[in-house]
Amino acid sequence: MNLDLFRAYWVLAMRLKSLRNVAALALVLLLAACGDNGESSLGGAIDFEPNRPTLGKETAAAPAYSGNNPLVQEAAERFRTGSDLHRKVIIRTCGPNGGVCHNQKEYPDLRTPGSFLATINAPCNVQPGDFSSVDDRCELLGDRFKFDNQGFKEIEIGHLQYIAGEHEDYKDGNKPDASSPGLHVHLREAVPLDREQLHAGGQFIRTFVNDQQIVEDLTFATFGSRWWILEGGKHLVAEVRSYQVDRINELLAVGIIQGDVNRNSVFGARASKPVPLIKPGKPEESYLVGRLRGLMGGEEVPGSRMPLANQPLTIPEMLALFCFIEGLPANGSHPSMSDAIDYKSCSYTADPESLNLLGAGVTWKGRVSKIFQANCSGCHGGSEPPEGLDLRNDEAYGQLFELSKQKPELRLIEAGEPEASYLWLKLIGDESITGYPMPYNPLTGEGKLREGELGDVQTWIVNGAILDE
Ligand code: HEC
């Protein structure tokens, strides 16, 4: 690794205000090292030991929930502490193979309780991969750029793109374009230079608050080359000769902050406040929650909804997450994961239904068929399923709109109308049913799905009992 750069990083790190910032910066550096949008393979990774919070041992008691909402009771019973939440909800949602989707390469790292805690107040969506899925609300104030010995003021960096490839000698009025090899720097405003090219050092600048609370601007990297000025000055291209490739990789590995990561010309940090992954006290302003819901502050969150390959969170699971976040200390200090989640003072227990993720997007394939496979297929399968109703797999969907054998004036499912859907009446053990409530329990003669699952089936019927999105 280039010594100058290494020193720059340490100067940078040392001047940062708090340890947390160092950890965050280290993270950014690590991510940058993991790949800049897959466009270049970067060398020059900086080794670091992630600064993970330690996990407290003592269990702080929380007053028990005393209300009688069954959804809250279920949450309080199954997800007593932050560790329960992490183990039973976060890990579950992290890929079918136990956490393959989120590891240290794929931000955020959610594998351990400690790494989960580290998402508190951490920047959101700092992920390598598809830049277009980055939410404007996750964009930070970008670093700034200027040329050595040029009088203009520094300009915020929108995005950077290194296009690897053989350097070209531009002659006879030829010049690089958007796809030419080189380091492309896209700026928020045009550089006020009335020329097409210059030989200069390009400076990358960031503002820090030092130990004495003094704000300082620091040039943390420079790159000297021939620079081309395109698009009226908003797009600069530095030529990169083969001997400079390492230098560029090191430069990118420093983790230059781009103000318009998703390249949509909106500089998120200026347009609105950046959103952290988890904001203590404010689940609805936490990006992690936004990604689960596909919505935040009434606006769509770009990128696929999480969890990708799994069932969405049930209401009790959501409630546990919301109450956990709401109960986090506002000063940003890390709680112990073994502290009890305080359901009693959690405002979301007043209306847990409102946390139902499935208001939109609950489908047979996405959710309901899985509930039935898990709870019904043991009996409703094989060569002679009860009442001819086979609920083993996705194909069962076709049968659901047939008339009930037990009560032929009703269909099993009447889209939009749970009360007119015989299957639903069986699930809630309505007085009008023939036989037993479902899922039948031969020992007790009773049986009931969990509240969250029932809520999901109900929402699904109300929303039209759709197959797929
Ligand atoms: C332990 C075995 C068992 C399980 C588990 C079970 N069922 Fe049943 N199911 C039966 C039997 C037996 C009948 C017929 C007798 C009755 O209604 O009690 C039946 C009948 C039904 C009927 C009536 C069909 C009609 O055409 O009228 C529906 C609907 C139904 N089950 C849905 C479900 C659903 C949905 C689940 C899972 C949530 C489920 N069952 C789980 C055994 C089971």
Q: Mutation test of ligand 1: which of 376, 404, 458, 460 has the most ligand atoms closer than 8 Å to its C-beta?
A: 376
| One pLDDT digit (tens) per residue for the chain, 469 residues | 444 444 444 444 444 433 333 333 333 333 333 223 333 223 233 333 344 444 444 455 677 888 889 999 999 999 999 999 888 888 766 543 333 444 444 556 676 777 788 888 887 765 555 677 677 887 888 999 999 988 888 999 999 999 999 888 888 888 999 999 999 999 999 999 989 999 999 999 998 877 787 888 889 889 999 999 999 999 999 999 999 999 999 988 888 889 998 898 989 887 777 788 889 999 988 888 887 776 777 676 665 555 544 456 788 999 999 999 999 988 877 778 888 999 999 999 998 887 876 555 578 887 788 889 888 988 998 889 999 999 987 778 989 999 999 999 999 999 989 999 999 999 999 999 999 999 998 888 788 887 667 877 887 887 788 887 6
Q: H-helix or E-strand containing 371?
A: helix 369-375
User: Measured in angstroms, how far is the CA atom of residue 457 from the centroid of ligand 1?
Assistant: 15
User: Measured in angstroms, how far is the CA atom of residue 412 from the centroid of ligand 1?
Assistant: 11
User: Measured in angstroms, how far is the CA atom of residue 24 from the centroid of ligand 1?
Assistant: 53
User: What pLDDT, on a 0 to 100 scale, did the predictor assign at position 208?
Assistant: 80
User: What pLDDT, on a 0 to 100 scale, did the predictor assign at position 408?
Assistant: 96
3-class DSSP assignment, residue 262? coil
Q: Which residue has the tokens 């993991």?
A: 34
By alpha-carbon position, which residue is closest to atom 14 of ligand 1? 386
Q: Which long-range contacts (CB under 8 A, 24 or more apart) does 345-349 make?
A: 345/63, 346/319, 346/322, 348/283, 348/319, 348/322, 348/323, 349/65, 349/67, 349/69, 349/72, 349/319, 349/323
Residues paired with residue 198 on neighbouring β-strands, in sequence order: 227
Whole-model pTM: value is 0.51
By alpha-carbon position, which residue is closest to atom 19 of ligand 1? 386
Instruction: Report the atom number in ligand 1 closest to the C-alpha of 407.
Output: 27
- Residue 337 C-beta-side C-alpha neighbours within 13 Å: 16
**Contact criterion met (CB below 8 Å) for 344 and 63:** yes
User: Measured in angstroms, how far is the CA atom of residue 433 from the centroid of ligand 1?
Assistant: 11
User: Measured in angstroms, how far is the CA atom of residue 72 from the centroid of ligand 1?
Assistant: 28
**Contact criterion met (CB below 8 Å) for 47 and 6:** no
CA quadruple 278, 281, 284, 288: dihedral, nearest 10 = 20
* Nearest in space to 204 (alpha carbons), one of 262, 258, 270: 258
User: Measured in angstroms, how far is the CA atom of residue 94 from the centroid of ligand 1?
Assistant: 32
Q: Which residue has the tokens 């136990």?
A: 98
Contacts of 71 (CB under 8 A, 6+ apart): 315, 316, 319, 352, 353, 451, 452, 455
Q: Mutation test of ligand 1: which of 375, 380, 430, 451 has the most ligand atoms closer than 8 Å to its C-beta?
A: 380
DSSP class of residue 218 equals E
User: Measured in angstroms, how far is the CA atom of residue 432 from the centroid of ligand 1?
Assistant: 15
Alpha-carbon distances of 77 from 85, 317, 371, rounded to whole Å: 11, 11, 20
By alpha-carbon position, which residue is closest to atom 13 of ligand 1? 386
Q: Report the relative pairing of strands 235-238 and 182-187 from DSSP bridges.
A: antiparallel
User: What pLDDT, on a 0 to 100 scale, did the predictor assign at position 242?
Assistant: 92
User: Measured in angstroms, how far is the CA atom of residue 466 from the centroid of ligand 1?
Assistant: 21
User: What pLDDT, on a 0 to 100 scale, did the predictor assign at position 56?
Assistant: 47
Q: Mutation test of ligand 1: which of 432, 440, 450, 458 has the most ligand atoms closer than 8 Å to its C-beta?
A: 440
User: What pLDDT, on a 0 to 100 scale, did the predictor assign at position 462?
Assistant: 78
Query: 405: alpha, beta or left, given left = phi > 0 and alpha = psi -120 to 50?
Result: alpha
User: What pLDDT, on a 0 to 100 scale, did the predictor assign at position 409?
Assistant: 97
User: What pLDDT, on a 0 to 100 scale, did the predictor assign at position 452?
Assistant: 65
User: What pLDDT, on a 0 to 100 scale, did the predictor assign at position 43?
Assistant: 29
Angle ∠(377,315,311) on CA atoms, nearest 5: 50
Distance CA 270, CA 262 (A): 14
Instruction: Report the atom number in ligand 1 closest to the C-alpha of 436.
Output: 18
By alpha-carbon position, which residue is closest to atom 12 of ligand 1? 386
What stretches of 164-307 adopt beta strand conformation (E)? 182-187, 197-209, 215-230, 235-238, 295-296, 299-300
Q: Mutation test of ligand 1: which of 379, 422, 461 has the most ligand atoms closer than 8 Å to its C-beta?
A: 379
User: Measured in angstroms, how far is the CA atom of residue 417 from the centroid of ligand 1?
Assistant: 20
* Nearest in space to 308 (alpha carbons), one of 79, 126, 133: 133
Which parts of 176-277 fold into alpha helices (H)? Answer: 245-253, 268-271
User: Measured in angstroms, how far is the CA atom of residue 380 from the centroid of ligand 1?
Assistant: 7
Q: What token pair was written down for 254?
A: 């420093």
What residues does ligand 1 touch, defined as CB less than 6 Å away? 372, 375-376, 378-380, 386-387, 389, 404-406, 412, 422-423, 426, 435-436, 438-440, 442, 449
Q: Report the relative pairing of strands 215-230 and 197-209 from DSSP bridges.
A: antiparallel
Residue 169, number of CB atoms within 10 A of its CB:
6
